[in-house]
Homo-oligomer: A and B are copies of this chain.
């Protein structure tokens, strides 16, 4: 009865397929979408473990589900043949967002290393991995708290830097606002930003960028 219409042609039009943002949907609404998929591959994001378990078992079992990032794949995974992006994060607490990015990349066939715990307070950790990072065309950087990683990284590498502020922090950093304003007002030129916790959007933009290489 619910009137759901997926934008199945979006991939052709914009280069990125529509994904299912599950946060505001009931398990029944997600079931309806999955039923409509009809053999098409689908990426689901923000799917919490409880809601995932509340899905129709037939649907649940068909999903490749990752609880840390809350992402799920419907359908056969794409082979991981493409390269050029890495996901870098400041601390352990940023991993859910960082993995939303790597999972989204993987869904579309991109293999991207996840380099964790390179927050700028221990600069040597970043420096140790710098060559690996510099080899990438696009670097997705995830950081909460004060988000200093974005500026330091963008001052060190030639790669395109996409900043994902994460909602890690308390007091003035609560909900990612401090990290977001750091990303947007970075002194380093060429830092690009997406919404707080938006690992999916960062991955989507990275794919659009990487595809240009062969266009």
> Which A residues lie at the B interface, using CB under 8 A?
2-5, 7, 9-10, 13-16, 18-19, 21, 23-25, 29, 33, 90-93, 95, 114-117, 119-125, 137-138, 144-148, 150-152, 154-160, 162, 165, 167-178, 180-198, 200-201, 204-205, 207-210, 212-213, 215
Q: Nearest CB to that of A10 among chain B residues?
A: B122
Residues of B within 8 A of A185 (CB): 145-146, 169, 171-173, 178, 195
Besides A24-B91, A120-B187, A171-B185, 13 more A-B contacts (Cβ < 8 Å) are: A5-B117, A18-B189, A19-B189, A119-B187, A121-B151, A137-B212, A146-B150, A146-B184, A146-B185, A146-B187, A171-B197, A192-B194, A212-B212
14 A-B pairs, CB-CB below 8 angstroms?
Answer: A3-B115, A24-B93, A120-B120, A120-B151, A137-B215, A146-B182, A146-B183, A171-B176, A171-B197, A173-B184, A184-B193, A184-B194, A184-B195, A189-B205
Residues of B within 8 A of A174 (CB): 175
Residues of B within 8 A of A21 (CB): 93
Question: CB distance B158 to A7 under 8 Å?
Answer: no
Known contacts A92-B4, A160-B208, A173-B195; decide if A155 and B187 are in contact (CB<8 Å): no
